[in-house]
Structure 1
C-alpha cells in the first residue's frame, strides 16, 4: 500500500483544528470590521489655521524743494522732487511730507504724528549729544485703506546751518554732526477685526555741508498683519487603511464560511475507516523497526491463519514470537509467520480485503475446491 493520500492528511488536519481555525477567522473578521468602521465612520478631523485677511502698514517720506535762484541747470520756480542731493545756493528750504497708510479692507485707525528735526553729535558708533527741534504734528481719525495720514513739514536751510554753528561754538568741533527728520506715530484702532495699538518711528537721515543737503537711506515702517480662523476638515483615510481593513474583513468572513461549508459538505470530515488508516500509518511509523516489507504469496504452506484486529496487536505478536512483521504494500496486508500459523492484519482499504477475511482460514485444497 502506498503512502497516505495528501488530501486525507489535509482533511484530518482541518478536522482536528477546525475549531481553532474558525475562531481565528472570526476574530480576523471582527478586527477587519472594526478597523473598517473606524476608517470610514469615524474620520479624523484636522484643525488648521487659515488666513482670511491680510494687510500691511507702511510709512514713507517724500521731499522736494523749490528753486529760488536761477542757474544753467535749474530754472527759478521749478520744484525738484525726491532727489538724493539738494544745492544750498539754489533753495531756501526743504519740504518734507510724511505718509502713513494701511491696506486692511475693513476697520480704521486713529493716527497721531509728531515730526522733529534732530541733531546728533557722533563719534564712530557713539552718540556724544543729541538735540531736537519740533517741525510739525498732525492727527487723523478713522483712517481707512482708501485714504492715508500725512504731515507736512519744512526745513529752513539757513536755520539748520545757524543751529550747527551755535552748537559748534558752544561744544567745539568734537565728533561729526548728523541731522535727520524723525516722525513718531501712534496708531490706535481696529484692522480686519484685530485690535491695533502701535508706536512707529520713521527717520530720514541727511548729511549737510555749505554746498549741499544729501538725503541718505531712509528707515521707514513696513509691517504686515493677518486675521486667521481655525478650520476643521475631515482627513481622507489612506489607501492602505481603506483596502487593508476591507480585505481583512473579507478574509475572515470568507475563510470562516469556506470552513463551515467544507465541514458540512464532508470535505473536511474523516470517515471511521479513514481514521483507522491514519492510526495504522502512525503505528507503522512508531513500530517501523519491527516491520519488514515483502510480498504476500499466492499460495501458503500454513494450515491455519489467524486474523489480527489491528497492526499494534500484530506487532505485539511479532515481539512475543521474536519474528518480523512482513508487509505487502500492494495488497495492504501485514503478516507474522510463526510455525503452522500465519498471523494476518488486513488494512481496511486493502484490495484483497474481502478474499482474505472470508477465506483466509481455509486450507489451500479447500480454497481450490470453492466455486467463485
Structure 2
C-alpha cells in the first residue's frame, strides 16, 4: 500500500499542475487527431508518358539451290544458325524496323558489310560495302528492306586477299546496321553489329543483329493519400485518456486527506517500531500531542519504546512512565479518547 499511498499523496499535492498539464496535452492530442483526419498528406508520384519504342533487326534467308540430303531443292531457309555454300550460295539480309504507328516517322536504314585485315590486333586493310541504304517516312509503323549477296563469290574474294598477303594476317567480316529515326517527339540512332563468319563451306552470323530504344517523358503529379486511421484514432484515444485522468485527479484530490496519506506512508516505513494494541485513559497520565507520526516514531526510538497503534480509535501512542505521547489524524477520535 505504501507505493499507492505515495502516488496518491503526490497526485493530491500536485493536482492543479497535473490537471493543467494533462488537459492541455489532451486537447492538443484531440486537435492533432482532427488535423490528421481533415488534412491528409500528399505524395509526389512520377509517371512516364508518351512512351515510344523503336526496334530494328536483321534476319537471314537463303534458297537451297544445290542438291543435298539436308534440305529439299528450292526450299527457303530462314534464320538458320549456319548455311552452306554448296547448298545455298546466296544469302539475303532482311532489315526490319518497327516504329510508332500512330504518327508519321522518318526512318533511315543503312546495312554495311566491312572487311578488315588484322595483324597483331592492328588493321592493315579495310573496305566497306553498303548493302542497304534507304530513307522512308512511314505511318503504318513498319519499315523493311532486303539485299542479297553471293557468299561463294565473297569467299573466293577473301581467299584471294589471303593469298596476296601470304597468310600474314587474318580477315574479319562484320555486318553492321545503323538506323536513324525521327518521331513527333523523339529522335535517335540504333547501331548494332555481329561478325559474319565464312568457314570452309559454312557461313553464318555469329550473334544477333538487333537492338531497340525506348523513349518517354517524365512528369510528376501530387497524389493525396488517405489519413492513417491508426494515427488519428491513436491521438484521439490518448486525448480522451488524458482528459479522463484530469477528472480522476480532481476526484482523488477531493476525496484524499494528505495528512492521513502521510501517516499511512510513515506507518509503512516504520512498521518495525509500531505494534497494534489498545490503551485506557488514566487521569494521572500526562498526554502529549505529537505533530506527525514520524516525530512520534522518533520519540519511541529515543526512549527505546514501541509505538502502540489502536485501530479502533485510529490513534498512535508511546507510553513512557506517566507520559503518553500520542498522534492522531482525527481530533474527534483523540478528544473522545481523552474524554474531552
TM-score when normalising by structure 2? 0.71
What residue in structure 2 maps to residue 65 of structure 1? 62
Give the CA deviation at 1:160: 1.8
Measured at CA, do residues 226 and 91 of structure 1 come closer, stay the same or move farther in structure 2, by a change above 3 Å? same
What residue in structure 2 maps to residue 259 of structure 1? 249
Count of equivalent residues: 330
Give the CA deviation at 1:292: 10
Is residue 2:170 matched to residue 1:180? no
- Give, in whole Å, the separation in 2 of the partners of 1:94 and 1:6: 99
Highest Rg: 1 or 2? Answer: 1
1:292-371 matches, within 5 Å, as 296-297=279-280, 300=282, 302=284, 310-312=289-291, 329=310, 332=315, 347=328, 348-349=330-331, 351=333, 353-354=335-336, 356-358=338-340
CA contact (8 A) 1:296 1:328 kept: no
- Give, in whole Å, the separation in 1 of the partners of 2:68 and 2:276: 135
Measured at CA, do residues 216 and 6 of structure 1 come closer, stay the same or move farther in structure 2, by a change above 3 Å? closer
Is residue 2:92 matched to residue 1:95? yes
What residue in structure 2 maps to residue 132 of structure 1? 128
Is residue 2:212 matched to residue 1:222? yes
1:10-29 matches, within 5 Å, as 13-29=10-26
Is residue 2:183 matched to residue 1:195? no
- Give, in whole Å, the separation in 1 of the partners of 2:58 and 2:39: 58
Give the CA deviation at 1:327: 6.0
CA contact (8 A) 1:183 1:203 kept: no
What residue in structure 2 maps to residue 366 of structure 1? none
Measured at CA, do residues 233 and 346 of structure 1 come closer, stay the same or move farther in structure 2, by a change above 3 Å? closer
Give the CA deviation at 1:29: 0.8
Measured at CA, do residues 127 and 242 of structure 1 come closer, stay the same or move farther in structure 2, by a change above 3 Å? farther
What residue in structure 1 maps to residue 235 of structure 2? 245
- Between 1:131-140 and 1:345-354, the stretch displaced more is 345-354
Query: 1:134-158 deviations in whole A, cap 9, x for unaligned?
Result: 22311111x45x4311222121345
Give the CA deviation at 1:30: 3.7
Give the CA deviation at 1:233: 2.9
Give the CA deviation at 1:112: 0.8
- Give, in whole Å, the separation in 2 of the partners of 1:9 and 1:121: 100
- Give, in whole Å, the separation in 2 of the partners of 1:156 and 1:52: 46
Measured at CA, do residues 293 and 108 of structure 1 come closer, stay the same or move farther in structure 2, by a change above 3 Å? same
Give the CA deviation at 1:222: 3.4
Tell me how large the CA RMSD over aligned residues is.
4.7
What residue in structure 2 maps to residue 171 of structure 1? 165
Measured at CA, do residues 153 and 357 of structure 1 come closer, stay the same or move farther in structure 2, by a change above 3 Å? same
- Give, in whole Å, the separation in 2 of the partners of 1:204 and 1:257: 88
What is the DSSP-based 3-state SS (H/G/I as helix, E as strand, rest coil) of the residue aligned with 1:19? helix
Name which of 24, 29, 32 aligns with 2:29. Answer: 32
What residue in structure 2 maps to residue 151 of structure 1? 145
Measured at CA, do residues 61 and 335 of structure 1 come closer, stay the same or move farther in structure 2, by a change above 3 Å? closer
TM-score when normalising by structure 1? 0.66
Measured at CA, do residues 353 and 131 of structure 1 come closer, stay the same or move farther in structure 2, by a change above 3 Å? same
Measured at CA, do residues 333 and 126 of structure 1 come closer, stay the same or move farther in structure 2, by a change above 3 Å? closer
Give the CA deviation at 1:10: 6.9
Structure 1, unpaired ranges of 5+? 359-372
- Give, in whole Å, the separation in 1 of the partners of 2:14 and 2:173: 98
Measured at CA, do residues 118 and 350 of structure 1 come closer, stay the same or move farther in structure 2, by a change above 3 Å? same
